[in-house]
Every structure is written in C-alpha cells, then in structure tokens.
A and B are shown apart, each in its own frame.
Chain A
Amino acid sequence: MDTAKRSLHATLLFLLTLVVACTDDQGDSSDHVASPDSYQKYEEKGVSFAYPDSWSFSYDDSPSIYTSRGIGLDISEFSTITILISEDKTLELDYVADRLLSEFQVKEKDSIKNFTRTSDLIGRFPAETATWDDHFLGETRYELTVAKVKSNPHDVFVAFSLSDDDIGNAQDHKERFLKSIRIQ
C-alpha cells in the first residue's frame, strides 16, 4: 500500500513538474503554436527561431555592440529586426527602448512630427512602441518596437525597426516571430 501511495505521489510529482516546465516564467501553451511552413528556421548556439521567407538573416555576433549576443535580420533595405541577448546583466524594457530610440535622433531633427510612444502587449509580450513621421524630402513613417520575450535564463529583447510599407507588412508576423524564439 505504501508502495502504491509512493508511486502515485511520484506520478503526480512528475506530472506537476511537466506542467511547471511547460509554463515557465515567460511561457505558456500558446508558445507552441506552429509557425507557417513557409517560415525559415534558424538554430545556432542555443538559440532558435522561425521567420518569414521574405526576411533575410544578417548576422549573429557575440558580443554585439549592445549586449552579450546580437542577431540581426533584414526585412528590407531600411527595416531590420534585432534580437538582443543579455547574458551578464539584467535589463529593463524601458531602458533598452530608450537607448535604441536615441539613435534615431527624434528629438534633434526638426523634420520629425507626430511622435508617439506607448506601452502595449504583442500577444503576451510586453512591448514599447514609438512611432513618428519624418518630413525630410517627403514623408516617411517610422516605427520602433522593442519587446521583452524572455527573462530566463537570460534577458532577451527584440527590436523591430520599421518604416513605411514594412510597418504594415510586418504586423502579422511579429507575434509569431516572438513566440518562436527559444533560448537554451
């Protein structure tokens, strides 16, 4: 009898462990929604993700100019995605968004209009999104979105730097791309 109880407890413990493992601090079952077949797969040195066929891989650098590791994808000549993995430091979403936004010099340019910045969610991922119009030699719409996708084992952020048509074209892929990211 004791043996049966112990066996039952062990089974329950095992099942509980499985449940916990499948719902870590950032994950839930919705993470495992399969990406479309047309998506390309990337897997290198403990990082994997899937991305649309129209995007192209650019670099995987350790260290990147920002964090311990950075992976870049090109959406077009003027729009990019950057995955930032911080292995040695805890970073806040606001801080990362501020640092990347400062590179666009939105405060310094006279040609910048209609600047907005909002906190929102992409799926269940917290994100900061800034949008603005630049009237330098005609109007161009810009959008910078920084999302935090992991905090365990490392902080992982994704920055979407988009402009004009790429803003609309990338919207449908953002959440699927974020959900596909796996870090070992």
Chain B
Amino acid sequence: MANTDSTYDGTLISELGVKRYLKGRSDLPTSNINFFVRGGAAETAWKECNFGCHGPTYRNLTKPSTFQEALQPIDQFSPTLAGVVDGIRHQTVGRAQNLAGGIERTGEGLMLGGDDAFQNVGEENLAAYEFATTCFEKLVNFEIDTLDNPLSQAVLTIVNEYTAVIPEWVLRSAYQDGALKLPESVNTVSLIKAVSMGIIKDVDQIDLSEAINLLKNPSKRFAGKQIGKKLASAMGAVLAATICKKLMTQGPGLNATKRDIAKLRSHMRGLRGGLGGALLKLLQTQGVLDRAGDASRRLNQASPRLWRLLRFDLNGANMVYFLVEPLIKEYVDRLALLERRPQEFSKVMIALMQEKQTKSIFFPGSAM
C-alpha cells in the first residue's frame, strides 16, 4: 500500500534512492549526525565539527581497518560524506565485529593461512567455517538459477541494493524516453520467496502485489507525481529480479561455472559423510578457495555493507561472489561510490542519462 506521509523529502528520496532514504530515516533518531543535512548547512556543520559532537557512542567503538581507510582521505570528501561514513561504521563494521570476532579473522583468512590452519578451525572462527561449508554445499546441490543457490542469492542481493538507490528521476526519465522497458510478466512466486528468505527486505507481499499490478498497467507507470516510498521500493525489487534473471541466463561465462558445478556435483557423489568438510578440502586443493577468498576481500574493501549482507544475511554467500564477479563488479563499484562519494554517484547518473547510456544504468558492467 502506498504511503502518503507528506513529511518525507522527495528530493532526498530521488537523490539517495528510496531504500537508503528510509534506512536513513530510521537511523536518524539514534545518530549523532544529521546525515540528511545538505548544501550550506552541511558545509557549516562540517567546518565547525571537531568530532566532539559525535558523542560517547561514536568514541566507544573500536577502529577496524576498513573504517580507518574510509576516514583517511576524508578531507577530499564532501561534507555530506561524513554522515554516510558514520553510517557505514555503525551499521556494518560494528556488527561484523560482534558476529565474527573481528574483520581480520574471517573464514577465508583462516583457510588461506595454510593447511594446518585450515584443518584446525578455531572455535572462535567456527561460525565462519560453517558459513563457507553451508554455502558451497548449497552451490553444488541447487541449480544456479534458483533462489536456493547462494549464487543467485548473491546476485539478487547486490542488484537489489543497486536498483534501490537508482534515483527516481532516473527511472522516470528513462521510462519517459522509452529507454526503460519494464517486464511484461513477473515471476511473483520467486519474488515472494525472495522476501520470505530475507533476500529482499523492507518490502511485504502486499507492496509486491501492488507494484506488479502497477507494472502491468503501462498507463499508470510513473504517472503519479509520487509513487510512494514502499511501493517504489517494491518496484525496485521487481526490477532487480528482472535484471538478476537476465544476468543468470544471458552471460556466456556462466556456462563454465555451470560445468564446474556439475563436475563438483559428480565428484561429491562418490564421497560419504562429512560432505561439507570434504567439499572445502577439495575446493582448496583445486585453488578455488584462494580465488574465493581474494574476491571476498575485494568485496569487503569495496563495500563493507554488501560484504556483510552476503556474509551474515546470506550465510556465507561472499565465498561464491568470485563466480559472478565479472558480471556484477560494476554494481558493487557504484554502490561503493555511493557509500563513499554520493555526490559523485549522482554525477555519474546524470552523465549516463545525458549521454543516453540507459543500458549502462540498468546493466552496469555488461552493457556494451
């Protein structure tokens, strides 16, 4: 159902994307920084800021390297960024520390430390080990174009994060130019499953049904001045599911991934008991875990938020990210840009629209 709350800021929704805007609103009451401040007020706040204003909560959190990296070039960033960086720290890094006992001691780091370390998984890293085991088991046991497979889950999650931050004015302009062709049919069952599995968040089945009905009626698409935040979020999820389906069926590179998984599946049939551990050892001897760990660290460095979603919300899907990295790296890079330099992200979108590079908005990285 469309929310008609008039206190929402349409400009900010357009600038930040509806999902990030809503998340920002929910976090604002517990934040020491008003990260929605813009323009001259933001400049003034930034110049007067001596970090004393951030309060004890801010100072009490320890400093992980990713946050330090984000702060180092802070002088070059816009005042707006201060709030965004703070948000990353609170929402992503802090929680990751609590869950896994430290960013530096992740499962992939442990497994790449040598055979001994791999064989002797410490208790404190048991969760990370379990994540990797479960993830690879599901990768082998489910078809890659089903939502039970962590590969599909990872792609849909990242694409959904991206479509949620595409400003509404970009969607509207693209549609009015005839450049955005919305799907004629939507796999409702798959979408509802994604919601129930927590892959698509902040959207319920009623929103999805309304969004799908709206998409089926061309005359109503983008006709209203304000679609409504929750409905727009649901439409973003529908768009994400459509893009995800295309990515998982049209990329020739996935042929090799499918064949590798089929080989793994065939190989695993011969093993009895301890499937997860045996699978991980096999992947390690084949050099797969090295690549998985490298890609996971690249993802963590580019976007701690996405890494956290894949690692914790999707139970270790960060370890299969390497299989689709060429197809979705640009989505990650743009989300990383938005997290660190939101004004630059906006400039990118404007430039893409002005140059009529609409495909590059919806299929970043693959569009030619």
* A100–B263 alpha-carbon span in the complex (Å): 23
Knowing A80-B255, A142-B256 are in contact, say whether A70-B250 is a contact too (CB < 8 A): yes
* A147–B256 alpha-carbon span in the complex (Å): 20
Partner of B255, one of A84, A102, A136, A161: A161
The reply to whether B256 and A104 contact each other, CB–CB distance below 8 Å, is: yes
The reply to whether B246 and A103 contact each other, CB–CB distance below 8 Å, is: no
Query: B258 on the interface (CB 8 Å rule)?
Result: yes
A-B complex: 6 closest residue pairs judged by Cβ atoms: A103-B253, A161-B252, A137-B263, A65-B366, A65-B363, A78-B259
Query: A27 on the interface (CB 8 Å rule)?
Result: no
Partner of A159, one of B252, B286, B287, B356: B252
Knowing A89-B368, A96-B368, A136-B286 are in contact, say whether A65-B260 is a contact too (CB < 8 A): no
The reply to whether A64 and B246 contact each other, CB–CB distance below 8 Å, is: yes
Partner of A67, one of B243, B288, B368: B368
Contacts of A84 in B (CB 8 A): 368
* A70–B252 alpha-carbon span in the complex (Å): 12
The reply to whether B250 and A64 contact each other, CB–CB distance below 8 Å, is: yes
Q: Flag B105-141 by CB within 8 Å of A: 1 or 0 each.
A: 0000000000000000000000000000000000000
Query: B197 on the interface (CB 8 Å rule)?
Result: no
- Give the Cβ gap from B348 to chain A, nearest Cβ, in Å: 19
Q: How many residues of B contact A (CB 8 A)?
A: 34
Contacts of B260 in A (CB 8 A): 134, 136-137
Query: B251 on the interface (CB 8 Å rule)?
Result: yes
Q: Which residue of B lies closest to A163 (CB)?
A: B259
Knowing A136-B286, A140-B259 are in contact, say whether A103-B326 is a contact too (CB < 8 A): yes
Knowing A109-B291, A137-B267 are in contact, say whether A63-B250 is a contact too (CB < 8 A): no
A–B complex contacts, Cβ < 8 Å, 29 sampled: A58-B249, A61-B246, A61-B250, A63-B359, A65-B247, A65-B363, A66-B250, A66-B366, A72-B249, A72-B250, A78-B262, A82-B250, A82-B252, A100-B252, A102-B326, A103-B251, A103-B253, A103-B326, A104-B252, A104-B253, A104-B256, A105-B326, A134-B256, A136-B288, A137-B260, A138-B263, A140-B259, A144-B252, A163-B255
* A137–B326 alpha-carbon span in the complex (Å): 22
Query: A17 on the interface (CB 8 Å rule)?
Result: no
- Give the Cβ gap from A159 to chain B, nearest Cβ, in Å: 6
Q: Which residue of B lies closest to A103 (CB)?
A: B253
- Give the Cβ gap from A142 to chain B, nearest Cβ, in Å: 7
Query: B223 on the interface (CB 8 Å rule)?
Result: no
Contacts of B264 in A (CB 8 A): 137
- Give the Cβ gap from B247 to chain A, nearest Cβ, in Å: 6
* A64–B247 alpha-carbon span in the complex (Å): 9
- Give the Cβ gap from A40 to chain B, nearest Cβ, in Å: 20
- Give the Cβ gap from B217 to chain A, nearest Cβ, in Å: 20
Query: B181 on the interface (CB 8 Å rule)?
Result: yes
Contacts of A5 in B (CB 8 A): none
The reply to whether A91 and B287 contact each other, CB–CB distance below 8 Å, is: no
Contacts of A91 in B (CB 8 A): 368
* A111–B285 alpha-carbon span in the complex (Å): 11
Q: Flag A129-173 by CB within 8 Å of B: 1 or 0 each.
A: 000001011101010100000000000000101010000000000
- Give the Cβ gap from B295 to chain A, nearest Cβ, in Å: 9
The reply to whether A86 and B368 contact each other, CB–CB distance below 8 Å, is: yes
- Give the Cβ gap from B71 to chain A, nearest Cβ, in Å: 31
Q: Which of B250, B326, B327, B359 has most A Cβ within 10 Å?
A: B250
* A136–B264 alpha-carbon span in the complex (Å): 9
- Give the Cβ gap from A129 to chain B, nearest Cβ, in Å: 14
Contacts of B271 in A (CB 8 A): none
